Structure 1
Amino acid sequence: MGMDRRAFLGLAGAGLGGTVLLAACSQIGGNKRVKGPTIGMLQFIDAAPPNSVRKGFMAALAKAGYVEGKSLNVIQKDAAGELANTTLVAKQFVGAPVDLFLAIGTPPLQAAMQVAPATLPVVFCYCSNPWGAGAGTPPGGVGQHKPNVVGTIGTNPVGKELDLAREVDPNLSTVGLIYNPGEPNSEFEAKVLLQEAARRGIRVETQPVANSGEVLQAAQALAEDKVGAFVKIGDYATIQAFSSICKVGLERKIPVYSVDPPDIDLPGCLGVIGWSYYDDGFAAGELAVRVLKGESPAKMAFEPLTKTELLLNRTTAKAIDVTLSEPLLQRANKVVG
């Protein structure tokens, strides 16, 4: 799918240049527009986790009869990891105009809350911290959020991630965490991880980074500190450079754990416990269908994700001299290698 040239040039004129990478799948206002609602879809980066969320969302809409190019128009963008771009794209969606704003991730939701008028429905997913984005107050029940917004809450199961690491190594006492404290989602999940680690008597060694280019050096520094494992939270810098952490884990024989299921296929990632991102998107899509059919988001509650997936990499285990117990392997939803 190529980006609609007029849409791209409009963004470039607004200061985005070539940083918005995903295509506009409908030429809003052009001859390819079909009869039906228009959805503006914004994600922070082009990466496997948010892409899987988007696929699930589209599947839910298609199941309800909203098929892209037949009964649905879609403008699809990503912000190339730049917070300023989320605001610029959000403004474009408002001006298009779109009938529904899909925010995939905390930064896009934050932009939507700042830009979208109260008359524009906003649905969010792949979001750990809707509160920090200004969408409402916990737990997000009816009357606890802005009347035009609803979505799924996906605060990553970092406590279960620590439990997995401790099950593999009962003597685990320290873990290394790399994250960008400038991201509202990362700062929030880092605090949750620190709380969960304290409950388990695990010390967390942290290395803050400003972007993905600093991740490799941060991982090497934590390895020098002899952490017992690397753990990951919902953080865009480490999503983009997680292979660097895995590389250091392989070299130093340090277990690496993630909350993003696609990571399990990376050499060096030992285990993942996290949400099914496709299911996250599908659940958000079902909420969007209700909105498109006339239900007010004000009468709907935020929906927390509850079902996790356990994935293990036996090839990585052998490479770093770690034994995965048979009961653990039997519980896994997927075993690689």
Structure 2
Amino acid sequence: MKKLMMICMSLLMVIGLVACDDDTEGMKKVGIIQYAQHPALDQAHDGFIDALKDEGFEEGKNITFDDQNAQGEGSNAETIADKLVNDGNDLIYAIATPSAIAAAQKTTEIPIVISAVTNPEDSKLVKSNEKPGGNVTGVSDLTPVEDQIDLLVKLAPEVKSVAVMYTNAERNSELQYEIAKKALEAKGIKVEAATVSESNQVQQVAESLVGKVDAIYVPTDNMVSESIANVVSVTNEHNMPTIVGEIAMVEKGALATYGINYYDIGYLAGKQAAKILRGEAEPKDMPIEYSSEDKLEMGFNESTAKKLGITIPEELLKEAKIVK
């Protein structure tokens, strides 16, 4: 009987060890590279995590995250990408173009899901947005630039000249500048490119525009959006309406936006990641996705509108988010 009990205990221990090994083998490892710390990218991060949770991936149970932030430095993004590849992650989630490029340059084997990248094809991350063809897929943050220009004109119809502020080294921002320029010129409005290459230039460039233009448009540009408080400290003081690419900049003092919801694009990216992790799809066959029109959000900063003496039309207020 004693021998039988020992045999049974040994068998139970073996079964337990096998079960543990199976749990370890079933654990998915996901590395995250977020390019910078600001509200829009934070939302894209949170949406991704929540989508995976909704898809049955529970941290510590069947998935682990190596969550890294490059703090706005390209060299940091490259170092993080190296680490995530060397650690053998099952998937990498890259938030914003510099992070996506850093990850894509380090591996052609590990699946990469991206978000907050305006045009992945133009950034050479995929062969085409419709059929990526490699190990990269994801969700674009292409914002409705023409609609944002229309909003600017509705709020400030007297505007004759507009500066577009963006980072000159950021191809996605250049693309939005080109769209904005075409839309503004079609309305007979003069356009000036106001570019920056470092964050400490943002306020100086904003100050240089005082007296030269009537309003400023800021697309979904990482560097300028991080420093938007410096921009609006100048523009609001000098009665220059500032229309922006997304709601987080309105919360920091910009006048208005009609743009995408970054939590939503992060959530869509998380849904893509879940399919890849379950082996249901491969990035090469997964088209780049876009936020649906019903997820677009209009927002106004009430105190900024009051300071600028702008009355927001009632029809625009109905569905808008108002920041006090």
8 Å Cα contact 1:34/1:69 also seen in 2: no
TM (norm. structure 2) is 0.87
Compare CA radii of gyration and give the structure with the larger one.
Answer: 2
Q: Secondary structure at 2:125's aligned position in 1? A: coil
The question of 1:201 aligning with 2:180 is answered no
The question of 1:276 aligning with 2:261 is answered yes
Q: How many Å separate the matches in 2 of 1:34 and 1:137?
A: 33
Q: Count the aligned residue pairs.
A: 298
Q: How many Å separate the matches in 2 of 1:194 and 1:69?
A: 48
Equivalent position of 2:306 in the other structure: 318
Match of 1:329 among 314, 317, 324: 317
Q: How many Å separate the matches in 2 of 1:192 and 1:131?
A: 17
Match of 1:141 among 130, 145, 155: 130
Q: How many Å separate the matches in 1 of 2:80 and 2:175?
A: 24
Q: How many Å separate the matches in 2 of 1:125 and 1:180?
A: 19
8 Å Cα contact 1:207/1:218 also seen in 2: yes
Q: Secondary structure at 2:52's aligned position in 1? A: helix
Superimposed CA distance per residue, residues 283-309 of structure 1 (whole angstroms, 9 cap, x where no aligned partner) = 010011110110212222111223311
Q: CA deviation at 1:189?
A: 2.1
| Unaligned stretches of 5+ residues in structure 2 | 1-23
The question of 1:82 aligning with 2:82 is answered no
The question of 1:71 aligning with 2:59 is answered no
Q: Secondary structure at 1:223's aligned position in 2? A: coil
- AA at the equivalent of 2:130: G
Identity over the aligned pairs, expressed in percent? 29
Q: How many Å separate the matches in 2 of 1:34 and 1:51?
A: 30
Match of 1:42 among 2, 19, 33: 33
Equivalent position of 2:239 in the other structure: 253
| Unaligned stretches of 5+ residues in structure 1 | 1-32
- AA at the equivalent of 1:157: P
Q: How does 1:279-298 map to 2 (within 5 A)?
A: 279-294=264-279, 295-298=281-284
The Cα RMSD (Å) is 1.7
Which of the two has greater helix per residue? 2
Give the 4+ runs in structure 1 shifted more than 4 A: none
8 Å Cα contact 1:135/1:146 also seen in 2: no
- AA at the equivalent of 1:209: V
Equivalent position of 2:5 in the other structure: none
8 Å Cα contact 2:127/2:133 also seen in 1: no
Superimposed CA distance per residue, residues 176-213 of structure 1 (whole angstroms, 9 cap, x where no aligned partner) = 22221112222222222222223333222222211111
Q: How many Å separate the matches in 1 of 2:168 and 2:174?
A: 5
Q: 1:85 to 1:184 in 2, by over 3 A?
A: farther
Q: Secondary structure at 2:318's aligned position in 1? A: helix
Q: Secondary structure at 1:287's aligned position in 2? A: helix
Equivalent position of 1:235 in the other structure: 221
8 Å Cα contact 1:35/1:70 also seen in 2: no
Q: How many Å separate the matches in 2 of 1:320 and 1:197?
A: 21
Q: How many Å separate the matches in 2 of 1:44 and 1:88?
A: 12
- AA at the equivalent of 2:307: A
- AA at the equivalent of 1:109: A
Q: 1:170 to 1:224 in 2, by over 3 A?
A: closer
